[in-house]
Structure 1
């Protein structure tokens, strides 16, 4: 598929997403890593942008990189990717490591120390 097809496309982005400006999940950010689930076939109802995103994400790719490859706005790719994650065709992984929450006892000691001030 020629990437220029998307930049010259006469359809406005809100039409592609059925008027939605926000994804169904708020965990997808530009640095979120996307990967196609190889077990899932391409959805029959997928449009051009969905198929193109699935093609680009055959390996691990960040959402921002996928948007650049497709020459689509990141905000549009977030909505499309969110739909594909919801249907099980894409999997996501946050690029940022998760931090463990501090122990409750430690927090209580800090709070008690602050109260003594």
Structure 2
């Protein structure tokens, strides 16, 4: 047995905290799944009173002051993408994070496609 001041750490990885401890046992988001390139942005709303956020969620909010992908957040926080999904889901439920959706792209008409084809052939 170790001393009571012993820390549970891995020298290379730092303090070891299991993902289920960070997500409070949840393994997936309640809402829609996020993929690696989903862009999250902070809404700028204040944290509701009596709401307890984890340190990881505060760090996510700080990162999302600018539009940031799920992959970048996972990398910056050194957490699995599944954990980021759960934490982001909670923040979205509170109205603190939003998903930046790209504008839908319409299909080009056939004349445009033919012009592109012809220009490529001309090269």
**TM-score, scaled relative to structure 1:** 0.69
Q: Tell me how large the CA RMSD over aligned residues is.
A: 2.1
- Looking at structure 1, the residues matched to 27 and 103 of structure 2 have their Cα atoms a distance apart, in angstroms, of 25
**Change in CA separation of 1:93 and 1:12 when aligned onto 2, cut-off 3 Å:** same
Can you give the 5+ residue segments of structure 2 that lack an aligned partner in the other structure? Answer: 1-12, 108-123
What is the aligned residue count?
93
State the structure with bigger RCO (CA 8 A, min sep 6), 1 or 2: 1
Q: 2:20 aligns with which of 14, 21, 34?
A: 14
Q: Distance in 1 between matches of 2:32 and 2:61?
A: 20
Runs of 4+ displaced beyond 3 Å: 94-100
TM-score, normalising length: structure 2? 0.66
User: Residue 72 of structure 1 is aligned with which of 79, 82, 88?
Assistant: 79
Largest Rg, 1 or 2: 2
Which stretches in structure 1 are left out of the alignment for 5+ residues?
1-6, 101-117
